[in-house]
Structure 1
Amino acid sequence: MAKLPNGLISFGKNANCTLELCPLEASILQYQPSIPGNGAIIGLFALSMLIHIIQGVRWRSWDFMICMVIGCVDEIIGYVGRIMLHSNPFSFAAFVIQVVCITTAPVFFCSAIYVMLSRTINYLDRSLSHFNPKFFVWFFIPIDIVSLILQAAGGALSATQSGSGNKLGVRISMAGLILQVVTLVIFVALFIDYVVRYVRKSTARPLQSRMKLFLSFLFLSIVFVLVRCIYRIDELRDGYDGPLIRNEPLFMVLEAAMMVIAVFCLNVGHPGIVFDREPRNDAEMSYTYTGNTGAMLQPKLPSSSSE
């Protein structure tokens, strides 16, 4: 950002630029975010959130629903910040809102995804797992919280400081993003390992169509989140002076679209379509999934009534 005459400041808490006083090129993004594009993203996140609320109430998957709703609200607030930047690309408050909220929102979606591994293992066959299923919750969720703190703190610091403070904030945000990517890769490896071990087990119940649907869309959502995180790491590599941060079409594809598709994948592959059902094994004994937090299998005795 070039220095401006007459005491004009284009970025920071003391910014006093407007489009009437300063050229658009002096703003940090160097463009006015699209109102139709960002408005459409807000609408899609709101729609997905509404569906997640309906699904959460329908299947009583409260923990999953809460994570998804918080993540969607975080995304919506972030894109409202971008719409505010359209009116005033020099608005410091709007920039902080979009940086912090859009950066941290996927962490909540990841939290919702992580608990699914433990739940799936308990539902199918916990004897095939290398670890106690509770370990996956104890391991992934704390790391997710650390990633959230790093990304939020880094985003706030990089937006509110200049010079070395700005660079430090960017590095902190990148550390959080890198931690998130590493965690997702570990999660994918463990998830694939378990599913492969289950499918190869000769005595295992065949995966039902609903379970295949759930696992497929859960995997797709992870892939889209991974693509987004890798893009954000590349975007922040040069801080706020790099070319990627000033490329809105790329941002809309690799950030906005990736996350919208990810949350809708979790609508289609909602855990309620699996864990609210009663699969049967080959010994004609049915099992029921009891509770949304315990995910325990208990035998259900056949009905004694005659037909």
Structure 2
Amino acid sequence: MTSTTSSFHTRPSDVFGANSPCHLDNCPVEWSIFGYRPSLAANAVFLALFVVIGTVHAYSGLRWRSWGFMTGMLLGCLCEVLGYVGRLLMWNNPFSYNGFMIQIICLTIAPVFFTASIYVTLSKTITYFAPELSRFKPQLFYWIFIPADVVCLILQAAGGALSTVMHDGKRTGVNISMAGLILQVVVMVLFIAAFADYMARLLRSGRARDKLRGWRTAIFFAGLAAACVFVLTRCAYRVAELKDGYAGKLFREESLFIVLESVMVVLAGVALLFGSPGMVFDKPAVRNGTWLGKHSNMVSEEGGFQMGEHNGKRYTGRADHV
């Protein structure tokens, strides 16, 4: 066979890779790594949704000066957008090596940035709300969950990259990505357990219950909890999807990918709009990043966090660092 424009009667050995001779004109789509042509409509919709979600998070972060939370969410949304650009490249050519490399790396690591925002936010929330009710010092959420999140990010990014660099490294790359995903699931389960324990103790506290009556506070905690469930569901799916490698049945099912990857991450991004620090850390109550309320107890109009003094101790903190 002398021309890459002619049809192949047998599957080429280099059907996947940077030098693949295949495209839709000369190879059946079943030979592609997905075994299907990604949906143009679905991937365009999810790309647009993450642009919108990222834009709203940027507005919210700038408005409420939630720099850390905003940075994590924007990085996550950017990775999602790039990932769906990669899938659109694969709609144009299901054998696109660059498209696959972009989507496998970006879509795999994107939720790691979302979970980083969640960990930072809950740590700050415990500090400002009722640190005495937590079994662990709020700083431990930084020193345990954030480093674990970084390890997850490195493993997933390295695994995705290795699986696309060379054919011999494909299985190794998948295993490394799976290790990162499994670690992320374990870390999230531990985090959810700590989160649930704190919320249970908070709800049993008479003084804290008074603070939870506001609708903003309720929506805030509900948003964080929902986002955790959505991301955990997505990670569990990705572990099952990669269990049999790129040749596995789950990896070649686009409908499952759309429901358990795309929809779950979109829902997590939306839930975190309500789990944003701005929902409870009211800007009118913040001046130069420090809580006001000397010799008084201040409660936001919408029922946000109480601020001021308790047992002679003044509540202070930098809300603009959340």
TM-score higher than 0.5: yes
Give the residue type in structure 1 aligned to 2:178: M
Counterpart residue number, 1:198: 202
Pairing 1:167–2:171 present = yes
How far is 1:285 from its partner? 2.2
Further displaced range: 202-211 or 76-85: 202-211
Give the Cα separation in 1 of the matches to 2:11 and 2:78: 40
Q: Report if the CA contact (8 A) 1:118-1:136 is conserved.
A: yes
Judging changes above 3 Å, is the alpha-carbon distance between structure 1 residues 4 and 131 closer, same or farther for their aligned structure 2 residues? farther
Counterpart residue number, 2:288: none
One of 232, 235, 240 as aligned partner of 1:234 = 240
Q: Report if the CA contact (8 A) 1:123-1:275 is conserved.
A: no
Counterpart residue number, 1:300: none
Q: Report if the CA contact (8 A) 1:8-1:16 is conserved.
A: no
Q: Report if the CA contact (8 A) 1:63-1:112 is conserved.
A: yes
Give the residue type in structure 1 aligned to 2:197: D
One of 180, 184, 189 as aligned partner of 1:185 = 189
Give the residue type in structure 1 aligned to 2:201: R
Two-structure CA RMSD over aligned residues (Å): 2.2
Further displaced range: 223-232 or 19-28: 19-28
One of 104, 118, 122 as aligned partner of 2:127 = 122
Give the residue type in structure 2 aligned to 1:22: C
Counterpart residue number, 2:255: 249
How far is 1:124 from its partner? 1.3
String of CA shifts for 1:174-227, please: whole Å, max 9, x gaps.
Answer: 000000011111111111111111111233352132111100011001100011
Q: Report if the CA contact (8 A) 1:221-1:265 is conserved.
A: yes
Counterpart residue number, 1:99: 104
Q: TM-score, normalised by structure 1?
A: 0.89
String of CA shifts for 1:45-101, please: whole Å, max 9, x gaps.
Answer: 000011001100110001111110010010000000000001111111110101000
The SS at the match of 1:73 is helix
Judging changes above 3 Å, is the alpha-carbon distance between structure 1 residues 294 and 14 closer, same or farther for their aligned structure 2 residues? closer
One of 273, 277, 293 as aligned partner of 2:279 = 273
Listed as ranges, the gaps of 5+ residues in structure 1 are 296-307
Counterpart residue number, 1:211: 217
How far is 1:291 from its partner? 2.0
Listed as ranges, the gaps of 5+ residues in structure 2 are 1-7, 286-290, 299-306, 309-315
Give the residue type in structure 2 aligned to 1:171: N
How far is 1:276 from its partner? 2.2
Judging changes above 3 Å, is the alpha-carbon distance between structure 1 residues 9 and 155 closer, same or farther for their aligned structure 2 residues? same
Q: TM-score, normalised by structure 2?
A: 0.85
Give the Cα separation in 1 of the matches to 2:274 and 2:102: 30
Pairing 1:14–2:19 present = yes
How far is 1:13 from its partner? 2.1
